[in-house]
Structure 1
Amino acid sequence: MFDSKEHYGKVTRFFHWGMAVLILWQFLTVGSRVLMEDTAVEQFMWGTHKPLGVLLLLLIAARITWALLNLSRRPPSVNLLATLGHIALYALLLIVPTLGLLRQYGSGRSFEPFGIPLFSGFEGKIEFLVEPGNLLHGSLGWTLLALIVGHIAMAVWHRKREGAIDVLPRMWR
């Protein structure tokens, strides 16, 4: 269950791969919004974007807590750039959905992800909550995607490059 110096435990692997699937879905929902606007596919997929964003926010909070609990047990980082890259990934995984949630609240519209009332609507808008989301949610989301692609590329590079530490078995047991 717990991490070790050689590999990540079952809980960490569940968070990693489960969130990977949900994040892929999130980017597919955005793709459907951009490429298939006003279609049944876009309507279905986009309808899942906000609820899954809340779920991802809860999962990243749990994942950060779990990572901190396992900090002394985890496999060592390959180098400082890998550490900084992971910190950036965790930060964006926290910031991007938080901005979306703040924008949703500031819009004055009610929000009930998965049928659970998170907050009720109200008249008007709270601009200082809406504007950061309008300005940064999408841009930071694409930055997150670039970091994820880089993360995958570096895992493959470390696996293929002679003399490099093959990091994939740590997360793929």
Structure 2
Amino acid sequence: MAESDARYGLTARIIHWLTAILVLAMVPAGLTMIRISSGPLQNQLFDFHRSVGVVLMVLTVIRLGYRLTHKPAPLPAEMPLWQQYAAKSTHAFLYGFLLVNPFIGWVATSAYGAQISVFGLFTMPAIVEKNRELSEQLFTVHETLGLLFTAAVLMHIGAALYHGIVRRDGVLSRMI
């Protein structure tokens, strides 16, 4: 197979790496913001985390639209079926998470009574009435999914590095 046939297109690669940068900034901000004392830094981290969440949700819709119209680069034929299944399952979870969990965060924030100002450019509308009990439940779900997402991202990075450094089978180079 020709190298150009085995790679993702430029648009897919740009969206992937933009998503990766945003995730690698948002996750630590989210983990930090819930563990520090109230104050200006915590407020800034909440604003950043929420803003990036909205951007990631929109970027994921764009990415899925692109993926529906552009076939992904094929996995190597010699890759074991279980690895192909694991790769496809992990990607499905990552896409699903990047749509669902920001939405849960939006609902939870609305239920809490807080606003989501997206980088100070505009404010997302509240989508439910203020309800602190619902907010607490949804934030628990949001955090739990966030931890699962973090594990999946680490697994995704580990698998990419394994294929790029150990196997050298072209899987990593498809996205670089």
For Structure 1 versus Structure 2, the TM-score category normalised by the shorter chain is 0.7 to 0.9
Cα separation, 2, equivalents of 1:75 and 1:97: 27
After superposition, the C-alpha distances for 1:85-140 in whole angstroms (9 at most, x for unaligned) are 11111111111111101112233444332331321598742865x35522310000
Structure 1 residue matching 2:86: 3-state secondary structure: helix
Decide whether the 8 Å contact of 2:8 with 2:174 is kept in 1. Answer: yes
Structure 1 residue matching 2:6: 3-state secondary structure: coil
- Work out which of the residue numbers 72, 75, 94 in structure 1 matches 2:73: 75
Match in the other structure for 1:116: 122
Cα separation, 2, equivalents of 1:110 and 1:31: 20
- Work out which of the residue numbers 125, 129, 135 in structure 1 matches 2:131: 125
Q: Which runs of 5+ in 2 are unaligned?
A: none
Range with bigger deviation, 5-14 or 139-148: 5-14
Structure 2 residue matching 1:117: 3-state secondary structure: strand
Cα separation, 2, equivalents of 1:42 and 1:127: 22
CA apart distance, 1:9: 1.3
Decide whether the 8 Å contact of 1:109 with 1:122 is kept in 2. Answer: no
Cα separation, 1, equivalents of 2:19 and 2:174: 17
In structure 2, relative to structure 1, the CA distance for the partners of 1:143 and 1:122 (3 Å cut) is closer
CA apart distance, 1:68: 1.1
Equivalent positions of 1:128-167 (< 5 A) are 130=135, 133-162=138-167, 165-167=169-171
TM-score, normalised to structure 1's length? Answer: 0.81
In structure 2, relative to structure 1, the CA distance for the partners of 1:111 and 1:89 (3 Å cut) is closer
In structure 2, relative to structure 1, the CA distance for the partners of 1:131 and 1:39 (3 Å cut) is closer
Match in the other structure for 2:46: 46
After superposition, the C-alpha distances for 1:9-48 in whole angstroms (9 at most, x for unaligned) are 1111111111111111111212332454346544433321
In structure 2, relative to structure 1, the CA distance for the partners of 1:165 and 1:123 (3 Å cut) is closer
In structure 2, relative to structure 1, the CA distance for the partners of 1:76 and 1:53 (3 Å cut) is same
